[in-house]
Each structure stands twice: as structure tokens, then as C-alpha cells.
Amino acid sequence: MDKYLWLIPALPLGGFLILALAGKQLSRSSVAIVGAGSICLSALVTFVVGGAFLAGMPANAVYTQTLWTWFEVGAFSAKITLSLDVLSLLFIFVITFIGALIHIYSTAFMEADRDYARFFASMNLFVFSMLVLVLADNLLLMYLGWEGVGLCSYLLIGFWYEQQANGNAARKAFTVTRIGDAAMAIGLFMVFQQAGTLVMSDIGANASTIWQPNSTVVTVTALLLLAGGLGKSAQLPLQTWLPDAMAGPSPVSALIHAATMVTAGVYLVARMHAIFALSETARLVIAVIGAATLLLAGLTALTQYDIKRVLAYSTISQIGYMFLALGVGAWTAAIFHFMVHAFFKALLFLAAGTIIESLHHEHNMFKMGGLKDKMPVVFWTFLAGALSLAAVPLISAGFYSKDQILWYSWTANGGSPVLWMVALSGALITAAYTTRMMILTFWGEAHTPVGHLPGRRITMPLIVLAVFSIFAGFVELPHNFGHFTLFSDLLHPVLPETVMRAEIPSEWLFQLLAALATLGGVFLGYHYYYQQPARLESLRRNAMLASLHRFWFLGWGFDALYDRLLVKPFIFISKINKSDVTDRLYTGIAAATGEMYKLLSRTQSGSLRWYIMGLVVGAILILGIQIML
């Protein structure tokens, strides 16, 4: 079965090529069939190959398929090799399955758009790049996919390019992630210099012999690689692009900025866990960044009024959880949360998109309301997603994954009580803003009339994702529930066990506290937004709280900070160099040639006597040289 591995990325690539080259000529339904069909077929192949893989686990738990050699320079040869192990299987399952659902949704969502073919071409290219990213067996090929997803993110955020703001958002996303990518490239150079190879399995196997544990070299390498992940996953300090990226269509937000691209950082860290395991500093940095991000983004989400921005900050926050888990060494917990998050976040974004469409592009939650009865399917599916996001105990998948992370944030060898406190507060805040979002959107009186209701192609994916949001958590029950560890057993060949501390407090206590945090958050949201909204007014009048609210609303001032620190000096320097000094060197050569031409062309005066003079003088000179030599 492994010889069909190449089909999984090749089908979306084929879809992209067809749509990019001939998209304008095809009819809408053909574009839809090619665009969505390629991903659906890819998902099908994934199921078949994955099923065969899991059923008959090969020797070292990995399928490889070398397609061709990209290039060879000296002793280094870069091959296009796809390798499938459980980690990548999980990722491609998420990518193709959720991707297929989102593509089917988009065939109806983008129906009225003029650039139908371009949309699907970009989406297919994105899925291709993401698949290459996770199926790559060497870091160079992964970097190819990395850059590809960055490009497609730019193309899709700025899809409606005729509005300036969308183009600005796309550029911002590209530039900020580029910073991370540049750091990651340097990290790759360092890895190659130390290890002599870029094949990930070789690096992982030999990591302890190549690098000294906790040496500067391995820490720097790990931090550089991490920087790439921070950029793509929108963590501190490179998180400013994700909220603005909501300028793109909702399916784009669902696919790229919820389920797949932003988790590329998580994939990178999990894949190169051998390097990160060698550096305590790097792991601490990851955990601290994860914790700080989740708190920061959570508080910001609490203040936003645009429903998509709430979801964007929520994504940043949830990925913070994943990074926290990676930092403390809870590798499988992070991947578990990734999988569950992909389902419910994609669902939430798709549902939000439907709501916005039906309410004639109304993004402001405060102007929504009363949709519970008007759009029932959307309401129930959104509810399922929201339950998972808030990690409501026992009934949602989110509970199981988030609870695991909370557990490990104290008990793992890299964890600490501080991290646990932060994560717990984050859980409370998450539940609070989720409830706020639900209440403002679906309850209360309807401030905006509902337009047309969504059709089958939109509601079917929502329902499927809702089912997964609830039931996907049951693959991994906590230790004290029955020790059903299907998920971590699956990942066992790839990711190591979490190293625990010596003394572990009782797991029941932690679960109780986590449940209490969630329910407390739900209650807070319910109280302030449903029961007694008047109390909100009195809070608003408090000057200090109002300025705090404003500070959180602006994303903790990061945009302003970067503007002052980076953007303004850059513009200043560009203004100084407006005439482009370095270009003068080249235009100077051209100008000098022009001057020489003018000078020399004067010697061609057309006067015969002038030429004869020249001949005579020349003869004199030559004879003079003859005499001298």
C-alpha cells in the first residue's frame, strides 16, 4: 500500500494545476468537482493507506516512498521522499478529512464569487503544501511545504484583493511568518552543519550523539527552529498576524488558520522532539511562551466584538495550550489537543461564516442575537463546538484533551505549579468568552434579520464536524477513568513517553478543579451577558477597568509596539534611501558609458582632414614606439 503514498499530495496538486491553468474555461460545477473532488479523493486514499498501515504495521512503523532525487551537491543529496508514520498519519487524516469537508462547504459558500476557480486553485495548492510539509522525510522538503503554506496563506487572506485592507492583512501575515521562517532556515543550516544530514529520522535517532545535552549549540538550534514554529503558529511574539488574517473568507480561516497551517509549528516541535529534549532551556522557553500566549490571547478574546476575531484569538490561545504541553514534555497530549481542536475550531469558523453570510456580512456579535430559533442547525452544531472549546466536562472531546494538558502541566518533569495556575485560569477565561460568544450570537433579541438559510452542502460538513467534536475525545480517556489510552499507544513508536515527576498529586483533584474552572467560566459568561447585563454597564463605567479593557482589546499593544519599533524606522530608512543609493552604482555605470559615448562620438566629425590628422599622429606614435623598443 505504501506505493500509493504519493497520491495523497499529488491529487491536490493535480487539482491545483487543472484549476490554475484552465480554471477560467471550466464551468462552476466542474471547478467545484475538481476542487473539492481532489481533496475528497485524497482523503479516501488517506483512509485506505492509513488503514493498511495501522492494520499491518511495518517494520519500524514507517512507510517511505522515495520519488526522485531533488538535487545533489557534493556529499549532500536531497531526495523527495515521503514518509508516513503515525504522527504524520494523524496529521494527514486531519488535513484531508477536515479539508474535504471544508472544500464541500466552500463549493456552496463561495458560489456567488467571481473568482471561484482561483479560490479552489489556491486551496488545493495549500492542501498540497501542507501534505508535503507533514509527509516530508527531510527538513528541506518540509521547508518547501512550509513556504508553500505561507504563500497560499497570503494568496487566500488577500483573496478579495480589491480592498486595500485585505491586501495589507495578507502582507502582514506573510511578513511576520517570514521572520519566523528566516530564523528557521538558519536553524536548518545549523542542524545540517552539526548533523551532516537533514533526514529527520536520522537526526532523531542520532541526536544524543550529535549534540551535547544542554549545550549552547543545541539550545540555539532548538530556539531557531522554534522561532519558525512560533511564526506559523502565531504565538508570542509573532502572533499579531492571525487576528488580521480574518479578512479572508471563512473557509480559509477554518482550514488554514484553525486546523492546519497554524499547527505546523506544533508538528515541527513534535517531529524534532529529539533536539528539544536535549535542551532544557528550549523546553522551558516553549512552555513559558505557550502559557503566556494562552493567557494573553484568552483575555483579548474576552473583549472582542467581531465573532471571527474572537475565534482567531481563541485559536492563538488553544495553540498556546499545545505549546505548553510540548514544553513540559507531554508530547501525545499536545497532539491529542491538536486533533480535537482542529475539529471544533474548523466547525466554529464554518458556522461563524454561515452566520455572517446569512446576516448580510454582519460581523459584530452585539448586532446579532436570537439565532437559536432562526438557524437551528447552525445553533446545535455551534453549540457542540462551543462545548468542546470550553471543555465542558465529560460530554465534549475538548474536556479530555485539555484536562490532559492541565494534568501534565503540573505533573510532568518540566511542569510547575505556576504553569498549571496559568493554564487553569486560561480554561476559565476560555469558557467565559465562549459562553459570551454563544449568548450574544444566539440568545436575546434579533438585532439583524436573517437572510437566506444555509443549504445542504453547508450544513452537512457542520454536522459531521459537530459529531467529531463531541466523540473524538473518547479515544483517550484519562488514567483514572479506565486507562483507555488508544491514542497515546498509537503514537508510541514516534513520540516518547512523558517523563513524570517523582510525587504526583491525585488526578481526581485536578480533574475536579479543571471542571470547576470551566463551569465557573460558563457561569461568569451567563451571569454577565444573560442574567444581568446591567452589571456589565457598571463595570464599563469604571475608568481603570475601561482602560484595561481597551488595552486587552488592542491585543496587549503588540501592534502598536511593533509599529513603533520596527515599521516606523523601516519607513524612515526607506524614505532616506528613496533615490536608492545602491542602484546608483548600476545607473552610474550606464551614465558613465553614455558620457564616454558622447565624448568619443565627437571624434567622428565627418571631416576628412581630421581623420588624416589622426592617421598621421597615429603613424608618428607607432614609429616612436618602434624606435624606443
Partner 1 sequence: MKTTVSAEVVVLLAGLLFALGIVGVIIRKNIIFMLLSVEIMLNASGLAFVAAGSRWGQPDGQVMFVFILAMAAAEVSIGLALILQIYHQHKSLDIDNLKEMNG
Partner 2 sequence: MEIAFYIAGTVALVATLMVITRHNPVHALLYLNVSLLAHAMLFYLLGASFAALLEIIIYAGAIMVLFIFVVMLLNLGKETAEQERKWLKPKVWMGPTVLAAVLFAEFLALVLSSGQDVYSPAVVSPRELAVALYHEYLIGVELAAMLLMAAVVGAAHIGRHKKLVLHRFLQEEKEKEEEKHEEAVL
The residues binding partner 1 (CB under 8 A) are 601, 604-609, 612-613, 616
205 vs 613, beta carbon nearer partner 1: 613
User: Rounded to the nearest whole angstrom, what is the least distance from the CB of residue 609 to partner 2 in the complex?
Assistant: 10
627 binds, among partner 1, partner 2, none (CB under 5 to 8 A by kind): partner 2
624 binds partner 2 (CB under 8 A): yes
Of 57 and 623, which has the nearer Cβ to partner 2?
Answer: 623
* Residue 27 partner contact from partner 1, partner 2, none using kind-dependent CB cut-offs of 5 to 8 Å: none
Residue 626: contacted member of partner 1, partner 2, none (CB under 5 to 8 Å, by partner type)? partner 2
Over its C-alpha atoms, the chain yields an Rg (Å, rounded) of: 29
Minimum distance, C-beta of residue 615 to partner 1, in the bound complex (Å): 9
d(CA 495, CA 377) in angstroms, rounded, equals 39
Question: Which of residues 565 and 613 has its CB atom nearest to partner 2 in the complex?
Answer: 613
Nearest to partner 1 of 577, 605 (CB atom): 605
Question: Among all chains, which residue has been given the C-alpha cell 488574517?
Answer: 245
Residues 460-489 that bind partner 2 (CB under 8 A): none
* Of 209 and 626, CB closest to partner 2: 626
Neighbours of 615 (CB within 10 A): 10
Nearer to partner 2, 395 or 622 (CB): 622
Least Å distance between CB 624 and partner 2?
6
Give whole-number Cα distances, 593 to 133, 428, 501, 590, 601, in Å: 50, 72, 75, 5, 12
Nearer to partner 1, 486 or 623 (CB): 623
Residue 291 class from Cβ within 10 Å (0-12 exposed, 13-18 middle, 19+ buried)? Answer: buried
Q: Is 554 or 612 the residue whose CB approaches partner 1 more closely?
A: 612
Give the list of residues 6+ apart from residue 449 with CB closer than 8 angstroms, or none. 359
Interacting partner of 606 out of partner 1, partner 2, none (Cβ under 5 to 8 A depending on kind): partner 1
629 binds partner 2 (CB under 8 A): no
Choose the contact partner of 605 out of partner 2, partner 1, none; CB within 5 to 8 A by kind: partner 1
How many angstroms separate the Cα of 601 from the Cα of each of 594, 598, 619?
10, 5, 22
Interaction between residue 615 and partner 2 (CB under 8 A): no
Q: How many residues does the chain have?
A: 629
End-to-end CA distance of the chain: 84
Shortest distance, position 623 Cβ to partner 2, whole Å: 4
Q: Given the DSSP bridges, would you call strands 63-73 and 76-84 parallel, antiparallel or unpaired?
A: antiparallel
Q: Is 554 in the site for partner 2 (CB under 8 A)?
A: no
Q: How far is the CB of 613 from partner 1 (least distance, A)?
A: 6
Segment near partner 2 (CB under 8 A); pick from 458-466, 476-484, 580-588, 621-629:
621-629
Measured CA distances, 620 to 339, 614, 617, 629 (Å): 91, 10, 5, 14
Helices of type H across 85-215: 86-109, 116-135, 139-157, 164-195, 200-210
Contact with partner 2 (CB under 8 A): which of 165, 205, 560, 619?
A: 619
- Could you tell me the smallest distance in angstroms from the CB atom of residue 626 to partner 2? 7
DSSP helix/strand/coil, 160: coil
User: Does 582 help bind partner 2 (rule: CB under 8 A)?
Assistant: no
Q: Which three cell numbers stand for residue 485?
A: 489510552
DSSP string, 70-116: EEEETTEEEEEEEEE-HHHHHHHHHHHHHHHHHHHHHHHHTTT-TTH
In the bound complex, what is the minimum distance in angstroms from residue 602's beta carbon to partner 2?
Answer: 20
Place of cell 443549504: 455
Query: What is d(CA 391, CA 383) in angstroms, rounded to the nearest whole number?
Result: 12
Distance from C-alpha of 188 to C-alpha of 183, rounded to nearest angstrom: 9
Rounded least distance, CB 628 to partner 1, Å: 19
Cα distance between residue 556 and residue 315, in whole Å: 16
Which residue, among 369, 362, 149, has the nearest Cα to 262 in the 3D structure?
149
DSSP assigned state of 410: H
DSSP classification of residue 234: T
| By the rule CB under 8 A, 617 interacts with partner 2 | yes
CB of 621 to partner 2, least distance (A): 10
Q: How far is the CB of 604 from partner 1 (least distance, A)?
A: 6
Q: Is residue 616 involved in binding partner 2 (CB under 8 A)? A: yes
**How many alpha carbons lie under 13 Å from residue 543 in its C-beta half-sphere?**
0
Tell me the number of residues near partner 2 by CB under 8 A.
9
Q: Which residues contact 378 (CB under 8 A, 6 or more apart)?
A: 351, 354, 355, 371, 454, 459, 462
Q: Which of 112, 114, 626, 629 binds partner 2 (CB under 8 A)?
A: 626
Residue 512's binding partner among partner 1, partner 2, none (Cβ under 5 to 8 angstroms by kind) is none
Nearer to partner 2, 21 or 620 (CB): 620
Site for partner 2 (CB under 8 A): which residue of 61, 205, 571, 623?
Answer: 623
Q: Residue 453 gets which letter from DSSP?
A: P
624 binds, among partner 2, partner 1, none (CB under 5 to 8 A by kind): partner 2
Q: Which is nearer to partner 1, 588 or 614 (CB)?
A: 614
| Look-up of cell digits 450570537 | 441
Do the beta carbons of residue 101 and residue 462 sit within 8 Å? no
> What's the closest the beta carbon of residue 579 comes to partner 2, in angstroms?
47
Q: In whole angstroms, what is the distance from residue 350 CA to residue 357 CA?
A: 11
Q: Could you tell me the smallest distance in angstroms from the CB atom of residue 607 to partner 2? A: 15
Distance CA(428)–CA(518), nearest Å, equals 5
Which is nearest to 229 in space by CA: 265, 262, 176?
Answer: 265
Part in contact with partner 2 (CB under 8 A); list of ranges 151-159, 396-404, 590-598, 611-619: 611-619
For partner 2, the closer CB: 598 or 609 = 609
Q: Name which of partner 1, partner 2, none residue 623 binds, using a CB cut-off of 5 to 8 Å depending on partner kind.
A: partner 2
Contact status: 620 vs partner 2 (CB under 8 A)? yes
Residue 599 partner contact from partner 2, partner 1, none using kind-dependent CB cut-offs of 5 to 8 Å: none
Given the rule CB under 8 A, which residues bind partner 2? Answer: 613, 616-617, 619-620, 623-624, 626-627
